[in-house]
Amino acid sequence: MKKIAILASGSGSNAENIIKYFSSNNEVEVPFVISNRKEVYVHERCKKLSVPSYFFSKVDFENGVVTKFLLDNKIDLVVLAGFLLKIPNDMLDAYPNMIINIHPSLLPKYGGKGMYGDNVHKAVVENKETESGITIHFLNEKIDEGEPLAQYKCEVLPTDTPEDVANKVHALEYEWYPKVIEKILLG
Ligand code: GAR
């Protein structure tokens, strides 16, 4: 059995989608979700799905507590799903090419500091882009700059609002993130 830990900082719709995708898979499991925030909706989603979700503070991430927790639980792959804290170097060292992230744009466009969630979609509409999409990439020490694994595009219409773009991008995330995870783990 391959084990995935999902790290999420917010609503957790991708976390929920990944948990559901693997729920009947007997080669991959999601034993728990970790968040750096206590009061976020991902915990409610996990409760409903009967998957434990744990809160760890920024300090726990920085001083190696979370990395030890992942290793102690024999986690194979760390999956960031709307996770907004910098991943510490000890975790990058413990999981070489085994930490992946999803970003809601076609990187390198709309990446870097401050570019997350709806900020990305607002910028895409303001700049009158004709396409957007998702990038799934390995994580390295620089924000949004790890080696890309996959990109998927959607059309942006002149009439689209940031919310419209968000819906299109989320649809791509739900379709592709679990499949890419499966491919990494099972080939
Ligand atoms: C997702 O769209 C994800 O791509 C984005 O945050 C959203 C989280 O939604 N991640 C980033 O912007 C990372 N830079 P969710 O909590 O409903 O899964």
* pTM tops 0.75: yes
Hey, what domains does the chain have and what are their CATH numbers? 1-96 (3.40.50.170), 105-133+152-187 (no CATH)
- Relative to the CA of 12, which ligand 1 atom is closest? 16
> Per residue of the chain (187 residues), what is the pLDDT tens digit?
999 999 999 999 999 999 999 999 999 999 999 999 999 999 999 999 999 999 999 999 999 999 999 999 999 999 999 999 999 999 999 999 999 999 999 999 999 888 998 999 999 999 999 999 999 999 988 777 888 999 999 999 999 999 999 999 999 999 999 999 999 999 9
Choose among 124, 82, 87: nearest CA to 107.
124
Ligand 1 centre to CA of 116 (Å) is 7
Q: Which of 43, 103, 121, 137 is catalytic?
A: 103
CA distances from 163 to 17, 100, 117, 128, 130 (A): 20, 25, 11, 14, 15
Ligand 1 centre to CA of 65 (Å) is 24
Ligand 1 centre to CA of 6 (Å) is 12
Choose among 129, 122, 121, 136: nearest CA to 175.
136
Q: State the first-to-last Cα distance of the chain, in angstroms, to the nearest integer.
A: 14
Residues having CB closer than 6 A to ligand 1 are 8, 10-14, 81-82, 102-104, 116-117, 173
Concerning whether 121 is annotated as a catalytic residue, the answer is no
